[in-house]
Structure 1
Amino acid sequence: MPIDFKVPIFDVKNLNFSARGQNILSNVSLEIFNGEYVAIIGPNGGGKTTLIRMLLGLEEPTNGHIKIFGKKLKTFKDWNKIGFVPQRAAQVDQNFPATALDIVKMGRTSKRKLFARESEEDIKAVDDAMFKMDILDLKNKLVGTLSGGQRQRVMIARALASNPEILILDEPNTGVDILSQQNFYALLSKLNKEDNITIVFITHDIGVIADDIGRLFTINQKAIVCNNPKEAISCEEMSDLYGISAHLVHNHKHEH
């Protein structure tokens, strides 16, 4: 069944979340549509990861509602449509006894029963994901021996192996060098433009926002949506919400 492009992938209305008597998120409303490239920024402790956990069905809001592909959170079942790369995913113990291929294959387990034989579809999806992340040459390398940037791409390939329609990445650049970060942004942009994968990128570092991000959500208990990040990021209310003097740092320039 084709997606209705008018229906948001995520439709969040008046979302509130409290834990241990503390208000984490207050009256958050936002929409994320098919094909978008969205950055979610905010300080540590501002509620970004809590919001993502609710979008992934791992936490229930205190009140408010979330719809995913037009369905209420409690009735949504197609979780394979959502690829997720969690915080510190690229930080793997050096002695971890798995190859890059083993890790990417883990992205297919939701598609089949545990211990079931791999289908031709499984093998092709894993191969395609590794090709997109340019890690086919790392297939048989132990993941603990790879660089931070290489491990980052392995973890993204694992998320891509389920052929998701949206990819959510939570603080994916932690511990990754600047060159790897630049390559990472180029890969995300390519996935967004060429494969039409919706990208949601979460970070606390306002200086890592890439040029081609379409919209920006700032989360610090409340939410502000900026539809033109290049102009809106310096606005006073965003600076006040974020708690610093906000400015946009371009990681790469497009030549025209």
Structure 2
Amino acid sequence: MLCTAFGLYFRTECALPGGMPAREGVTPDVEIVFGVPRPWAETVAWGPYRVRDADLFEFVMPDVARYTIVDRNRVIITPVDGADVAPIGEMLVATVLPSLLWARGEVVLHASAIARQDRDVGLLFMGASGSGKSTRLQRAVGRGARAIADDSVRLHIRDGAVIASGLPGGFFARPHDMTDRRTLIPVPLNQQLEEFPVRTVLMLEMDAKAARRLTGLEALAGLLRHRHRPRILKLLGTEANFIGTIGEIATRLRAVTVGARKDSLCAY
């Protein structure tokens, strides 16, 4: 299976929830396979992570699978016997791919991204889990907006613009209430964007009383606070490497805090 996600091409044996079909003939950037990696010794271990260096580390999800990242371009999935297929793909996109992107030198933030029909640049929704990122994406897509990413967004600068990419093929939502399992809601193909420039980020804060513009160090701190899977940066010893890049991204975005429970699409 060949698909695109986070602005990269993937050849994968595992379903990639939210991945966008890729055209035939492209050269894959990353390969995802099922198998068993060669034995190796870590230099550091922390919770579910084992690390030798940026070219060899892994994440273990109990009762699901072990994911070994090799040479920053290959993921080997070793499922637990009897594990359900769905959680294997869900953990792949929720944790493993963001970790892989950090190892490749990319910036990954905990955010969703859309492009409205009446705007030539996109919009980011950034916030903690449960703040409403996917809900706003779902509402926007229902109004005709195009999806760029849900939950995790890769940001990079190209020709002076901040370019967002992610998994535009769907978003995870609970169909009824918070006790239900999150399921993937597909996005129509004509509303999926492989990548798109973004200019505004709405930071969803539970205690925000009114919209407030963030600039300078406040904007930078907001982006740093919402890095996705930042633990891997500590393990790889690369936290400091991204300060300059994230700072440059912060200067190019219009950052605004808004209440997490408010629908702010009309205002922005």
Output the TM-score relative to the length of structure 2.
0.27
Higher relative contact order (CA 8 A, sep 6+): 1
Higher strand share: 2
